[in-house]
Amino acid sequence: MEKSEIKRIPLFDNIKYILGFFVVFGHMLGCVLNKLQESQYLYAAIYSFHMPLFLFISGIFSNKGKIDNRSKIVRYFLVYIYIMTINCIPCILLNRIDCIEMIGFGIEWYILSLIVYTIIVRYTNNHNKYLLVAIAIIFSLFLGYENRLGNIFSIQKIVYFLPFYLVGVYTDVDYIIFKMKKNRIICVLGGLLLIVCLVMIYVLCEKGYFWQIAFLEGGTDSYGAFLGNVTAVSCIYRLLAYCIGFIMIFSFLCIIPNKKYRLTEYGGRSLQVYVYHMVFVSFINYSWIDKMGEEIPRKYLLVLLIFSFAIWNGLSLFECRVLNALWRNGRIKSE
């Protein structure tokens, strides 16, 4: 199956639906990391797989359709500007002008990364794919030692996630659907590896390595920003994060069913919801969480979980039902 011929595959929409929820929940947890210790393990676990998987799937579908690379880049750039504009709304309405300084360093990095990755794949498409992935990982490991760049244009993060995107570009979808998914031993192995990774993350968090793991597995900044004393082996943290990320990708491909459910359609609209969810998360954070004390009760984890579920499914429902209905009606009238 050529990537240009790929149609909607329930497996990937199911994964994107689950990942979309975890994106919202992860951003909610990010608001209470210093207020609720129990949130730290969940945060580290979510960030070990949700964006690696998103970029992996983006890579798989990078050659889908008839849109040329130039048009893709223009579209991504317009979406990038649009997201930055949208994210200014809660800052202005809640009179949090100081937060506008952070605009451009939030979820916008994902769109910016797609621009960069599209260009890279365009000019390296005929080179050895294994060598390119290895070079991308090695470059990311060494870039972590660079402190002078800071987090300008999310360079650290974009470079960190490039290997996951490249592996997606070079992945054979037929093998996943018709061989890997039908091999019970592989699927059981994927489930067991998922449990091992989650236990490993929990143990590391319990031993006080939360900040090192959570932020290095997200490629947020240089090693010095979170490790303090940087040594020659500091890159091992990021290498471990890569190992966990790739294992998590394999595990989710194994355990998520390739069947269409009622909510599968929502997974196909994940990018649109991804764009808007931070507006609601920001409102909740600036108007409620910020005003709470230094510590909050454990029961608020359930509240954040419910908020996240409501935001994700509410936006998905609005996108899939209301906007689609308006678009169809407008099209019918124009005809």
**What angle do the packed helices 155-170 and 235-255 form, to 10 degrees?**
40
**Range in 140-144, 187-191, 276-280 the model is least confident about:** 276-280
What is the token pair recorded at 133? 């992935």
Q: In this predicted structure, what is the pLDDT of residue 87?
A: 67
Mean pLDDT, rounded, of the chain: 81
The number of angstroms, rounded, from the C-alpha of 31 to the middle of its chain's C-alpha atoms is: 17
| pLDDT above 70 (res 261) | yes
Half-sphere exposure of 311 (CA within 13 A, CB side): 28
Residue 17 in contact with residue 270, Cβ under 8 Å?
A: yes
Q: Which residue has better confidence, 321 or 194?
A: 194
| pLDDT above 80 (res 210) | no
The number of angstroms, rounded, from the C-alpha of 71 to the middle of its chain's C-alpha atoms is: 23
| pLDDT above 80 (res 100) | no
**Range in 7-16, 77-86, 118-127, 132-141 the model is least confident about:** 77-86
Residue 70 in contact with residue 119, Cβ under 8 Å?
A: no
Q: What is the pTM of this model?
A: 0.86
- 176-196 CB burial, b ≥16 within 10 A, e <16: bbeebbeeeeebeebeebbee
**Distance between CA atoms of residues 281 and 72, nearest Å:** 28
pLDDT in tens, 37-48: 888 889 989 989
Q: How confident is the model at residue 333 (pLDDT cuts 50, 70, 90)?
A: very low
| pLDDT above 50 (res 335) | no
**In sequence order, what DSSP letters do the residues of 65-108 get, joined into one string?**
SS--HHHHHHHHHHHHHHHHHHHHHHHHHTT-GGGGGGTTSSTH
What is the token pair recorded at 203? 């143990």
**Which residue reads 């690379």 in tokens?**
69
The CA–CA distances, whole Å, from 195 to 157, 189, 220 equal: 26, 10, 25
Q: How confident is the model at residue 60 (pLDDT cuts 50, 70, 90)?
A: very high
Q: How confident is the model at residue 330 (pLDDT cuts 50, 70, 90)?
A: very low
**Which residue reads 């990038």 in tokens?**
80
